[in-house]
Chains A and B, each alone.
Chain A
């Protein structure tokens, strides 16, 4: 009855039920399915290339160039994208954290800013891109601004919510120890708000990544993964477009999982106060 040797059977069943290998196998299966559909399904490979061809194209673009194609083309695109992402995200993180903390601490500020922010928040970030291009022209600086507008709101909101959720008695404990308002901010509010800040920044980085790609499609002029995808359309280079999409997906997942996984293990998980896992 055992079609498989039992020493093999159990690890495969574990994987099928879902363990740490499952994601890789799942993606591999999707890739194989995609390949088979294209091989036997009569799909126009000019519009929908097989993954094997996309991967070959991806590695070509990662390596040295040929003729008019510069060396490490994909790396250049990624580098520009990452630069715009990091600059925009850091700017958004600093400004928005400050705004959010102040909103959380001061009810009047909250009451006045909240309605305005609520309206801005429901506007899809992509809709402000035409306005930004009109104001700022094309170029990396505009992409950076798109990243900022795309990622600032989750940080503002979670920082404000974090401050509002600091237990009153935690502030009392600090006041009783003689802490001034400023000391309470730096020694209690920041620490107590950290789970919220981390959750907000994680959310915001995901938004920032989507924003930088979308922003590049419209506002970049030479490099950037988003720009590359849009540009490849002009040459019907669908393999490069899909290679770009894969890069966008892989980097996006890595940013959220690896970077924030690392930060969370070092902070909120160690303190036993993690909330972002549930978000």
Chain B
């Protein structure tokens, strides 16, 4: 069994504590993610998935509990993690190659080594011929590929993805899912993948972690015991889908009810 990479215990997150707009986003969250594991975080919108991801990223601090990575408390962002956002957030003034090489440049990696790594990643994401393009000229799917390459370039231990395919059309999304599976099998990066798509989470993950409605706790963890490539029409797939959807629907109803009270 692989070692524990991310360990969250008793995590609580309150935004604006003591203020009138105080928000209890996460109540009591306990989760261990093992090295190389692909874990999806699933839950109703606004339940605290991104909040948890950003705490692992080191951008937000838990207000209680302990959040560790490789046995050490997370104190801030760092190059041992790579992050991918739904809105791509590429650097528009840099060409594709420079965007990908960003972390390498920061780390002071020599130019030839950078070139080699860019070529490798461009091949991995299938964007040969677009090295010199500016992000603006790329489609959403291509931009997200560049963002993934940028996050992988400096070889972080952990890949954090916040609804990375949320803004893509269905066809692009299914291609991206297939590519992400391939990339994960090639790199074995520990991956936290936030999504609100049940299908996406089953297609990709070793485990699907279902969050409750806000304040978030873990409601249920589904271990997906299916070999890749997975097929959405497979009876076992459908079985997982039903179970997860049923559990998720309860939380979505709670969220809707809570919002009606407001």
Bound-state CA distance A143–B58 (Å) is: 52
Do A176 and B137 have beta carbons less than 8 Å apart? no
User: Quick check: is A55 within 8 A (CB to CB) of the other chain?
Assistant: no
Residue interface mask B67-85, A partner, CB < 8 A = 1? 0000000001111011101
Specify which of B89, B94, B106, B154 is in contact with A167 (CB 8 Å cutoff). Answer: B89
| Number of chain B residues whose Cβ lies closer than 8 Å to a Cβ of chain A | 31
Judge whether B15 is part of the interface by a CB distance below 8 angstroms.
no
Q: Is the CB of B79 within 8 A of A183?
A: no
Contact residues of A between 106 and 134, Cβ < 8 Å to B: none
Q: A273: CB under 8 A from chain B?
A: yes
Confirm or deny: B141 has a beta carbon within 8 angstroms of a beta carbon on chain A. Answer: no
Q: B10 → chain A, closest Cβ, in Å?
A: 25
Q: Is the CB of A169 within 8 A of B87?
A: yes
Main SS of chain A's interface residues? Answer: helix
**B82, closest chain A residue (CB):** A176
A170 within 8 A of B: yes
Q: Which of B108-154 contact A (CB under 8 A)?
A: 134-137, 150-151, 154
Query: What's the Cα separation between A162 and B193 when bound, in Å?
Result: 32
Query: Smallest Cβ distance from A266 to chain B, in angstroms?
Result: 11
Is B89 a contact partner of A191 (Cβ separation < 8 A)?
Answer: no
The verdict on A192 contacting B59 (CB below 8 Å), with A178-B106, A178-B154, A272-B134 known, is no
Residues of A near B102 (CB, < 8 A) are 173-174, 177, 187
Residues of B within 8 A of A272 (CB): 92, 134-137
CB-contact partner of B78 in A170, A176, A187, A271, under 8 A: A176
B87 nearest CB neighbor, chain A only: A169
Q: Give residues of chain A (167-191) contacting chain B, Cβ–Cβ below 8 Å.
A: 167, 169-170, 172-179, 183, 187-188, 191
Smallest CB–CB gap between A173 and chain B, Å? 5
Chain A residues positioned under 8 Å from B134 (CB to CB): 270-272
> What are the residues of chain B within 8 A of A267 when measuring CB–CB?
93
Contacts of A176 in B (CB 8 A): 57-58, 77-79, 81-83, 151, 156
Q: How far is the CA of A167 from the CA of B136 in the complex (A)?
A: 16
Whole-angstrom distance between the Cβ of B189 and the nearest chain A Cβ: 14
CB distance A177 to B106 under 8 Å?
Answer: yes
Does residue A194 face the partner (Cβ distance < 8 Å to B)? yes
Name the A residues within 8 Å of B78 (CB-CB): 175-176, 178
Which residues of the partner chain B approach A273 to less than 8 Å between Cβ atoms?
Answer: 92-93, 136
**A-contact bits for B23-62, CB 8 A (1 contact / 0 none):** 0000000000000000000000000000000100111000
A114 to B140, CA, bound (A): 39
Determine whether B91 belongs to the interface, using a CB cutoff of 8 Å to chain A: yes
Report how far A177 CA is from B89 CA in the complex, Å.
13
The minimal Cβ–Cβ distance linking B62 to chain A, given in whole angstroms, is: 17
Residue B103 is within 8 A (CB to CB) of chain A in the complex: yes
Do A271 and B136 touch across chains, with their CB atoms under 8 A apart?
yes
A170 near B77: Cβ-Cβ < 8 Å:
no
In the complex, the answer to whether B94 meets A191 with C-beta atoms within 8 Å is yes
A16-48 CB contacts (< 8 Å) to partner B? none
**Whole-angstrom distance from the CB of B118 to the nearest CB of chain A?**
14
* Most chain A beta carbons < 10 A, residue from B87, B89, B105, B150: B89
Assembly CA distance A155 to B87 (angstroms): 29
Q: Please tell me if the beta carbons of A172 and B57 are within 8 angstroms of each other in the complex.
A: yes
- Docked Cα-Cα span, A169 to B54, in Å, equals 10
Given contacts A172-B59, A174-B102, A187-B102, contact A271 B93 (CB under 8 A): yes
Cα-based distance from A167 to B89 in the complex (angstroms): 8
A272-B92, A272-B136, A273-B136 are contacts. A187–B106 as well, Cβ < 8 Å? yes
Partner of B89 from the list A173, A179, A194 (CB cut-off 8 Å) is A173
- Asked whether, in the complex, the Cβ of B106 is within 8 Å of the Cβ of A183, the reply is yes
18 A-B pairs with CB atoms under 8 Å apart are A169-B85, A169-B87, A172-B59, A172-B77, A173-B83, A173-B89, A173-B91, A173-B150, A174-B102, A175-B77, A175-B78, A178-B78, A178-B103, A178-B107, A179-B106, A187-B105, A191-B93, A191-B94
A interface residues, Cβ below 8 angstroms from B: 167, 169-170, 172-179, 183, 187-188, 191-192, 194, 267, 270-273
Given contacts A178-B107, A192-B91, A271-B136, 6 further A-B contacts (CB under 8 A): A167-B89, A175-B58, A175-B77, A176-B78, A177-B107, A188-B91
Q: Which 10 A-B pairs have the closest CB atoms?
A: A272-B136, A178-B79, A177-B103, A175-B77, A191-B93, A271-B92, A169-B89, A176-B83, A176-B77, A273-B92
